[in-house]
């Protein structure tokens, strides 16, 4: 008896409804939550993350949490910080499998992780119990899907795993389409010619007091000291003081240093849906239930 025929009628109806919704969301920001909705109906997933692994870095494509919060996105940020993903045995095992196959499927009981940072900080703070990692090698990169369940829901069952495998090929085909439609390369000109963009990036990613952030944003934007003081309704001396404090806080000395700092910050902050990847023209691997 197949997974599909074994599903109760309500679950089948939910899947039938979720697939069209996921397809219709391709290329849109809601793609992540639609993907999670499908995975929740399939295996009870509470969080899902899609990532792209290059030769030397890992990037988030989309992340979603069932409760509508940004939990998955925030935890991805923790996972990426200081390269914690590089010491993840789940990722290492997936890469090892991909050396001899076009796809990889790894399950991890979070409680068994020996790395304290991964177990307690990346997963423990959100009470994650179980993780399924599905990866496919596309050209020189790896695209992966991480599916998570908390202790409240409990670990994935054998039937849950079979269910995910049964639809993984379809999901990765939709992922390929989503990526090829949305990752067109970062628009660096926006990073430097939009004051709104500069302020949003610094506000969300840098621990600077409001006034220091405002002054730095306008320096990056190209405004003169006089222009900054007039726009912020402060005197020149006050503007200079905010600049000096910010430079000291950031451990930089020149306007060029500030620009380089900002561009590095923006490159990490900017929507990963604009990052360019190769056209995914190859036939995707067929994931079969074990």
- Whole-angstrom CA distances from 177 to 26, 281, 289 are 7, 10, 23
Read off the pTM: 0.62
Q: Do 97 and 197 have their domain in common?
A: no
Q: What is the pLDDT of residue 191?
A: 74
Q: What is the pLDDT of residue 287?
A: 47
Q: What is the pLDDT of residue 39?
A: 93
Q: Do 73 and 118 have their domain in common?
A: yes
Say if residues 186 and 275 touch (Cβ distance below 8 Å). yes
Q: What is the pLDDT of residue 82?
A: 67
Q: What is the pLDDT of residue 5?
A: 43
DSSP 21-49: HHHHTTTSTTHHHHHHHHHHHHH--SEEE
Rounded distance between C-alpha atoms, residue 87 and residue 173, angstroms: 29
List average pLDDT for each run of 10 residues in the chain, which is 290 residues long: 45 63 88 93 93 83 92 87 85 92 91 88 88 87 92 92 86 85 62 83 90 94 89 93 95 89 80 41 42
Q: Do 69 and 200 have their domain in common?
A: no
Does a structural domain hold residue 42? yes
**Other beta carbons within 10 Å of 67:** 9
The count of domains in the chain is 2
Rounded distance between C-alpha atoms, residue 196 and residue 34, angstroms: 29
Q: What is the pLDDT of residue 49?
A: 95
Domain that includes residue 212, residue range: 188-269
């Amino acid at each position: 008896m197949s997974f599909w025929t074994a599903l109760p009628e309500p679950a089948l109806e939910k899947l039938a409804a979720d697939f069209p919704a996921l397809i219709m969301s391709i290329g849109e920001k809601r793609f992540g939550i639609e993907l999670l909705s499908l995975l929740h109906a399939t295996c009870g997933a509470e969080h899902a993350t899609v990532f792209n692994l290059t030769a030397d870095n890992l990037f988030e494509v989309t992340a979603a949490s069932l409760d509508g919060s940004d939990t998955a996105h925030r935890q991805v940020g923790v996972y990426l910080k200081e390269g914690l993903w590089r010491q993840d045995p789940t990722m290492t095992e997936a890469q090892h499998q991909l050396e001899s196959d076009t796809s990889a499927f790894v399950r991890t009981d979070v409680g068994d992780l020996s790395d304290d940072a991964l177990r307690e900080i990346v997963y423990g703070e959100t009470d994650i119990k179980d993780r399924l990692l599905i990866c496919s090698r596309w050209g020189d990169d790896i695209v992966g899907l991480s599916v998570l369940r908390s202790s409240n829901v409990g670990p994935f069952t054998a039937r849950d795993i079979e269910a995910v495998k049964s639809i993984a090929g379809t999901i990765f085909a939709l992922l390929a389409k989503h990526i090829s439609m949305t990752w067109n390369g970062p628009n660096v000109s926006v990073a430097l010619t939009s004051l709104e963009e500069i302020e949003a990036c610094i506000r969300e990613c840098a621990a600077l007091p409001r006034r220091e952030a405002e002054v730095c944003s306008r320096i990056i934007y190209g405004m003169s000291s006089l222009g900054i003081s007039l726009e912020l309704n402060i005197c020149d001396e006050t503007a200079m003081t905010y600049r000096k404090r910010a430079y000291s806080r950031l451990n930089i000395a020149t306007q060029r240093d500030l620009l380089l700092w900002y561009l590095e910050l923006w490159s990490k902050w900017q929507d990963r849906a604009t990052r360019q990847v190769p056209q995914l023209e190859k036939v995707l691997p067929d994931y079969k239930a074990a």
